[in-house]
Amino acid sequence: MKFSEGRMGRVFVLRLEDGDRLPECIEAFAAEKGVAQAFCALVGGVGSGRIVVGPQDGAAMPPVPMLTELVGAHEAAAVGTLFPDEAGRPKLHMHATFGRGETVKTGCIRPGIDIWTIGEFVIIELLGLGLTRKRDAATGFELLAPK
């Protein structure tokens, strides 16, 4: 385990609207407001998109992602973090659970999801952590590392 200690900064509450696309709209908002590091949460509806639902083979490196489509309006709850990549751009890493009828799907939103009607998104800025996302050669993932 590695860790970094910081403190909370500003808090933003966003009302996302029909068709807003994640992660792009959150990363753009963070860049505009100068939010480099944050804890994020989402509740609301998602109408479409693709999510990563695991690696095809958990032992293979780098992993090949399994993707699934979200078709039709789903209820959504998600948590994630926002940290800069090696170029300094905000990158959202968020996992969500989506429900429609009796079907539930859980995965990473990185490929992109579109808000259906309304989404409430909370950004809690984190200060003093000194972390960035750096590409790991073995996994291909952008992992948190000290700057």
Strands 21-22 and 131-135: unpaired
Give the domain ranges of the chain. 7-146
pLDDT band at 75 (very low <50, low <70, confident <90, very high): very high
How high does pLDDT run on average in the chain? 97
Residue with tokens 């808090």: 11
Tell me the pLDDT tens digit for each residue of 25-69. 999 999 999 999 999 999 999 999 999 999 999 999 999 999 999
List residues bridging with 81 in a β-sheet. 39, 93
Q: What is the pLDDT of residue 147?
A: 79
Q: Is CATH 3.30.1330.80 the classification given to domain 7-146?
A: yes
Predicted structure pTM score: 0.95
Read off the pLDDT of each residue in 62-87 and give the average, rounded to a whole number: 97
Phi-psi region of 26 (alpha: psi -120 to 50; beta: other; left: phi over 0): alpha
Residue 42: CB atoms within 10 A of its CB come to 23
- Residue 121: pLDDT above 90? yes
- Kindly give, in sequence order, each residue whose CB lies less than 8 Å from that of residue 16, ignoring residues fewer than 6 positions away: 22, 25, 42, 44, 115, 118, 119, 120, 121
Q: What is the pLDDT of residue 11?
A: 99
- Residue 104: pLDDT above 90? yes
Q: What is the pLDDT of residue 122?
A: 99
Q: What is the pLDDT of residue 35?
A: 99
